[in-house]
Amino acid sequence: MTNKFRASFSVLNAWASGDWQLAVNMYFKLEEFSTPAMEEGKKYHKEWEEYIKNNKRLPEIFGGNLLEKPETELKLEYQLCDWLELVGVIDCYDSGTVFEFKTGNSTSQSYANNMQTRIYGLLLKLNKYKVEKAVVHRYNQHNKKVDCSYVWITSAQLKKALDWVETYSSEMHNYLEENNLYEELKK
């Protein structure tokens, strides 16, 4: 049986950063990854998701802008080729805009710099959604400050995302196959 690789941003990001063990553990869900900061982040995410669903607006802390037809926790998948599937869950999608909500000390710029928003743009495009831009809203719950960063999801950015996904997926998939980890760890 041919093994298939389910690529997600968080797993590939760990792999691309050289944290191979973490990537493998995340891929096969070998450990529960949670810190107090992550739990707090999840709490905020849940509150914001509910707010958006009930009010069809961004949370007040992020400007309270009206949204047209927001979809929260939008789960998307796409079979890129016979061995590779790309998956992702977008915090909020509305009328061509990807919204990502973050908490903690890292700035919205640092999140905008990484591939996550571009990969979500790619998933949307492949699933025939309109995609123009991504907006990362960050709330630092420690100092109560907010910032936000924008990324235009152009065709060049989509190509960059696809190249990144294919490169690191291929590396990790080969590693898992060569070391027989699909069979060993799937159990």
Partner 1 sequence: MKITIDLEEIKKLSKNGQDIFIKPEAEKELIKLLSIKEQIEEIYNEAKKLLEEKALKINKNFASIEGDQIKISYRSFGSKYFIDKQGEVPVNMINKVVKYSINTKELNTFIKENGKLPLGISEAERKKQISIKIKK
Helix (H, G, I), strand (E, B) or coil at 99: strand
**Residue 173: which H helix or E strand, with range?**
helix 155-178
- Dihedral angle over CA of 113, 119, 124, 128, nearest 10: 120
Tokens 């908490």 identify what position?
A: 103
Please give the Cα distance from 40 to 52 (Å, whole number).
19
C-beta of 155: minimal distance to partner 1 in Å? 9
40-75: b or e for each residue (b if 16 or more CB lie within 10 Å)? Answer: ebeebbeebbebbeeeeebbeebeeeebeebebebe
Nearer residue to partner 1 within complex by CB, 132 or 183: 132
- Specify the residue, 92 or 112, whose C-beta has the smaller distance to partner 1: 112
Of residues 103 through 132, those in contact with partner 1 by CB under 8 A are 107-109, 112
For residue 97, state whether it binds partner 1 (rule: CB under 8 A). no
**Shortest distance, CB of residue 184 to partner 1, whole angstroms?**
42
Least separation in angstroms between CB 145 and partner 1? 8
Contact track, partner 1, 130-169, x by CB under 8 A = -------x--------xxxxxxx-x-xx------------
> Which residues in this chain contact partner 1 in the complex, by CB under 8 A?
62-63, 107-109, 112, 137, 146-152, 154, 156-157
